[in-house]
């Protein structure tokens, strides 16, 4: 099984979760995801997901000027984003435990 296929389904949740601990700019969030172990996540996927979550009203955004580099666009969870993270997180946990049970049954069978 290809993890990139699985990732597609949970990328939103992954990005929301990466923002739970604090606001971040695109590359920052990408690094958080990679540090958490999601090595396959693509740069463009993270930016595309951020853009879509923003369009969906789950994120707020602001620009932080920087002296040494380019200005950075920060993203952060708003109330709807936190609610979505909680809701989607529960869905995922339910789904994951169902899969776990299914796999365990197969093993014991």
Partner 1 sequence: MNSTAQDEITDYVERVRAALADLPEATRAELLEDLPEHLAEIRAEDTVTLTDRLGTPEAYAAELRATAAAFVGGFPDPPKRRFEPLLAARADVMRVLGSADVRVGPLLGYPKASDFLQLLRPAWWVLRGYLAAMALAYFVDGQSTQVGLLPRIGNSTLVALVLLAGCIVVSVAIGRRRFELAGWKRLALYGGTTVLVFFAIGGFFSADSDVRDTGYSDVGYSSGGNPYDYIQDVFVYDNQGRPVPGARLFDQDGQPITIGNAYCTDPDTGEVDHTRSMGYPYCPDAAPFASARPEPTATATPDEATPAPTPTSASPSK
Decide whether 9 or 22 has the Cβ nearer to partner 1: 9
For residue 67, what is the DSSP state? Answer: S
Shortest distance in whole angstroms from residue 47 CB to partner 1? 6
Q: Does 57 bind partner 1 (CB under 8 A)?
A: yes
Helices assigned H by DSSP within the chain:
3-18, 26-35, 43-55, 79-108
The correct pick among 24, 25, 32, 33 for binding partner 1 (CB under 8 A) is 25
Decide whether 1 or 109 has the Cβ nearer to partner 1: 1
Q: Report the candidate in 27, 35, 8, 18 with the shortest Cα–Cα distance to residue 77.
A: 18
Q: Does 109 bind partner 1 (CB under 8 A)?
A: no
Q: Alpha carbon of 65 to those of 17, 42, 71, 74: distances in Å? A: 25, 26, 5, 10
For partner 1, the binding residues (CB under 8 A) are 8-13, 25-27, 42-45, 47-52, 55-57, 69-73, 80, 84, 87-88, 91, 95
């Amino acid at each position: 099984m290809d993890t990139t296929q699985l990732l597609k389904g949970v990328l939103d949740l992954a990005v929301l979760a990466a923002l739970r601990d604090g606001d971040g700019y695109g590359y920052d969030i990408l690094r958080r995801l990679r540090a958490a172990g999601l090595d396959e996540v693509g740069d463009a996927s993270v930016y595309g997901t951020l853009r879509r979550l923003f369009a969906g009203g789950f994120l707020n955004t602001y620009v932080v000027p920087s002296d040494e580099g380019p200005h950075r666009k920060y993203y952060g969870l708003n109330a709807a984003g936190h609610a979505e993270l909680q809701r989607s997180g529960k869905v995922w946990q339910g789904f994951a435990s169902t899969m776990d049970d299914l796999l365990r049954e197969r093993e014991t069978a």
